[in-house]
Chains A and B, each alone.
Chain A
Amino acid sequence: MGKYQNIINAVDTRLKTIKEANGYSSDLGNSVYIWRTEPVNDGKLPAIIIRDTGDELINTLSGDFHTFRLSLDLDIATANKESAAAITEVRTLRKDLMKAIGTDLTFGGLAITTDYESSDVMVDSAANSISGVLIKITITYRVPAWED
């Protein structure tokens, strides 16, 4: 398995640690998906979907190493009867996510570092208010040239 896949797995594993039992404010870690395309029922929220949306070669060292910046979208959604509460919840989930990522920016030495890029918050309404936040991060890692 290449480093790219190992990093995705490490992110997945890290996010699954987000549980109240581990000192977080939510149990977001119970519903972590990678590239889930099937809809999630609002009764199963909160949940998070990880998407590796692309990478960029940012450096080559003497042609022997490639340094990549991998872009990840982390999509969180939650539901509540009240829209204000749904927004408050999503802020709590965002905080938990940031805390989880921040515990080790190298993901056990796989990466050089992890950077926060941006976030977008949304709220919509059906039987419940559903709110979400899309957090974009990048993970910088190095591999021997032409290895994954």
Chain B
Amino acid sequence: MIMNDVDHFFRLGVTSVMATYTNVAGTSKSIEVIFDIPSASVNIQNFEITSSAPKATAKSAEVTDAEEGCSLVIDSKTYKITDARPDGYGLTELSLKNG
């Protein structure tokens, strides 16, 4: 069953890291996430700006209340969660922004 496969994606120290997740109510807990910082390009008028679009993939069961306004601290750096997208199969992708 796919739901049981979720744990196989998370290998602490290899594919995943520990993060502190804080929900809108301010309740914090440690969760395991797969963290990535792909580059991003933003065009403001004719001005092309390179940036990054950090994202974290978490187990959906651990971030059921994730929404805009929640935060993640990864490696002492705080990120605001701007969007949470469950894939329906046990994983949730969190779009992040510098906090």
Q: Contacts A125-B82, A127-B97 known; A132 to B44 CB distance under 8 Å? A: yes
Q: Are B50 and A130 in contact (CB under 8 A)?
A: no
Q: Contacts A41-B50, A42-B50, A42-B51 known; A127 to B98 CB distance under 8 Å? A: yes
Q: Are B51 and A130 in contact (CB under 8 A)?
A: yes
Which of A47, A49, A124 has a CB less than 8 Å from the CB of B46?
Answer: A49
Q: Are A79 and B51 in contact (CB under 8 A)?
A: yes
Q: Does chain B have a CB within 8 A of A96?
A: no
Q: Does chain A have a CB within 8 A of B5?
A: no
Q: Are B49 and A41 in contact (CB under 8 A)?
A: yes
How many chain A residues touch B (CB < 8 A): the figure is 29
Give A132's nearest chain B residue, CB to CB: B44
B84 to chain A, nearest CB (A): 16
How many chain B residues touch A (CB < 8 A): the figure is 21
Which of B37, B48, B52, B82 has a CB less than 8 Å from the CB of A40?
Answer: B48
Q: Are A42 and B49 in contact (CB under 8 A)?
A: yes
Q: Are A41 and B51 in contact (CB under 8 A)?
A: yes
A80 to chain B, nearest CB (A): 9
Q: Are B99 and A39 in contact (CB under 8 A)?
A: no
Query: CB-CB < 8 A to B98: which residues of A?
Result: 81, 127-128
Q: Does chain A have a CB within 8 A of B90?
A: no
Q: Which of chain A's residues 60-83 have a Cβ closer than 8 Å to chain B?
A: 73, 75-77, 79, 81
Query: CB-CB < 8 A to A128: which residues of B?
Result: 51, 97-98
Q: Are B46 and A51 in contact (CB under 8 A)?
A: yes
Query: CB-CB < 8 A to A120: which residues of B?
Result: 45
Give B39's nearest chain A residue, CB to CB: A126
Give A130's nearest chain B residue, CB to CB: B42
Which of A41, A81, A124, A127 has a CB less than 8 Å from the CB of B44?
Answer: A124
Q: Are A73 and B46 in contact (CB under 8 A)?
A: yes
Q: Contacts A128-B97, A128-B98 known; A40 to B44 CB distance under 8 Å? A: no
Known pairs A75-B47, A128-B97; list 5 more (Cβ under 8 Å). Answer: A41-B51, A73-B46, A125-B97, A127-B37, A127-B51
4 A-B pairs with the lowest CB-CB distances in the bound complex, closest first: A132-B44, A126-B51, A134-B45, A39-B48
